[in-house]
Amino acid sequence: MLKNETQSKKHFLIVGAGLSGLSLATVLLEQGQEVTILDKSRGLGGRMATRKTLAGGAIDHGAQYFSAKSAIFKDFLANMKKEGVVSKWTLAQRKYPRFIGTSGMKSIAQKMAEKMPVHTAQKVVRIEGKTVLTQAEQRFTFDELILTIPVPQALDLLVASQIPLREEELQALTQIEYDPCLAVLAVLNKPTSIPTGGIMLTDSPVAWLADNFQKGISTEPTLTLHASAAFSNAHLEATDLEEVGKQLLESVSAWVEPSNVLSFQVHRWRYSLARQRYPKPFLSLANGFIHLAGDAFGSGNGNVEGAFLSGYDLGNHLCHLSSRHHSGV
């Protein structure tokens, strides 16, 4: 959409600084709208997550790589590649290269948010009229509120805030489902022999292994292990996560010698990939000022590109509405 000089300015409050929230904010800011972004974490990127180790290494522990099918997302990546933020990664098991954040996945979100008004460590706990209240007891007002957080969490927030939902809205939102994922983040004493640094496993409690040193994002040898959806579902509520981590690491000893593991942590992702999605790129509630977007929306896959496109489409829709409203359409 071209910048419309006569467009009215609104204040958009975006909850979630993951890829969908940031692509939405990019569109709104380009159109001269006022934007505030809140995220409950101390960092940015949501499930595009990279953890730093004490020795300065890095571990991508959420999204591992992504593909680009749409022209819009390819354009975005071309710019990010020029900036040196995105690189290609060719896996032995894949014919065509995939994309990664050159310094880890989180760095893509950090680059996007460089000039954005993001408030971190602000968990939204309640919506009251056209204000949200955060756990840190701060209030933020808005004209339009956009929730880009995993849908079950958005539903909890809407219900706790007593926002009336129509039967069809409730149905659409409750049918959305995500797979959980238990991730093991390990520091190693030497790189692994995993070909090209990443491997998908089948018939195993482990679905994915990545050597972040070979991947090129870490200066020290580190490992990312993702348990399969079946294993993660079965062990999600385990109280002894360390024991679960040990079991997972033992099951991949053919790739990673247990004696090469210096230390490890287990991260519990309640929401990883959106398995059951809403077919349209976003959902605007009938109340007219609350919208939902994210990787669970849209006809593509529930992944990085899907999250980007959901935010992008909602951004253009909101700018279009804003200019129609201003011109009295």
Ligand X SMILES: Cc1cc2nc3c(=O)[nH]c(=O)nc-3n(C[C@H](O)[C@H](O)[C@H](O)COP(=O)(O)OP(=O)(O)OC[C@H]3O[C@@H](n4cnc5c(N)ncnc54)[C@H](O)[C@@H]3O)c2cc1C
Beta strands in 219-328 (DSSP E): 222-227, 261-269, 274-276, 283-284, 290-292
Q: Choose, by CB under 6 A, the member of 104, 221, 298, 302 that binds ligand X.
A: 302
Q: Choose, by CB under 6 A, the member of 307, 314, 318, 319 that binds ligand X.
A: 307
303 binds ligand X (CB under 6 A): yes
Identify the DSSP state of 8.
P
Tell which positions 310-329 bind ligand X, by CB under 6 A: none
**Beta carbon of residue 228, minimum distance to ligand X (angstroms, whole number):** 11
| Residue in this structure with the two tokens 């959305």, named with its chain if needed | 176
Which is closer to ligand X, CB of 57 or CB of 298?
Answer: 298
Tell which positions 231-290 bind ligand X, by CB under 6 A: 269, 272-273
Q: Choose, by CB under 6 A, the member of 36, 57, 66, 89 that binds ligand X.
A: 66
155 binds ligand X (CB under 6 A): no
316: amino acid identity, one letter: N
41 binds ligand X (CB under 6 A): yes
Identify the DSSP state of 5.
T
Separation of alpha carbons 308 and 21, rounded Å? 8
**Beta carbon of residue 221, minimum distance to ligand X (angstroms, whole number):** 20
Separation of alpha carbons 160 and 78, rounded Å? 42
120 binds ligand X (CB under 6 A): no
Separation of alpha carbons 251 and 269, rounded Å? 20
Stretch that binds ligand X, among 38-46, 196-204, 211-219, 276-284 (CB under 6 A): 38-46
Q: Choose, by CB under 6 A, the member of 13, 15, 77, 290 that binds ligand X.
A: 15
In angstroms, how far is the first alpha carbon of the chain from the final one? Answer: 17
Q: Which two tokens stand for residue 84?
A: 């040196």
Binding-site size for ligand X (CB under 6 A) equals 37
Q: Choose, by CB under 6 A, the member of 106, 111, 226, 235 that binds ligand X.
A: 226
Sheet holding 34-38, edge to edge: 118-119, 34-38, 11-15, 144-147, 290-292, 283-284
Question: Binding mask 89-118 vs ligand X (x if CB under 6 A, - otherwise)?
Answer: ------------------------------
Q: Choose, by CB under 6 A, the member of 28, 48, 91, 151 that binds ligand X.
A: 48
Stretch that binds ligand X, among 1-9, 18-26, 163-171, 256-264 (CB under 6 A): 18-26
Cβ atoms of 63 and 105 closer than 8 Å: yes
123 binds ligand X (CB under 6 A): yes
| Residue in this structure with the two tokens 């919506």, named with its chain if needed | 127
Burial 103-140 (b: 16+ CB within 10 A, else e): bbbbbbbbbbbeebebeeebebbebeeeebebeeeeeb
Separation of alpha carbons 17 and 244, rounded Å? 30
**Beta carbon of residue 252, minimum distance to ligand X (angstroms, whole number):** 16
Which is closer to ligand X, CB of 315 or CB of 323?
Answer: 315
Binding site for ligand X (CB under 6 A): 15-21, 38-41, 46-48, 62-66, 123-124, 148-150, 153, 181, 183, 226, 269, 272-273, 294-295, 302-304, 307
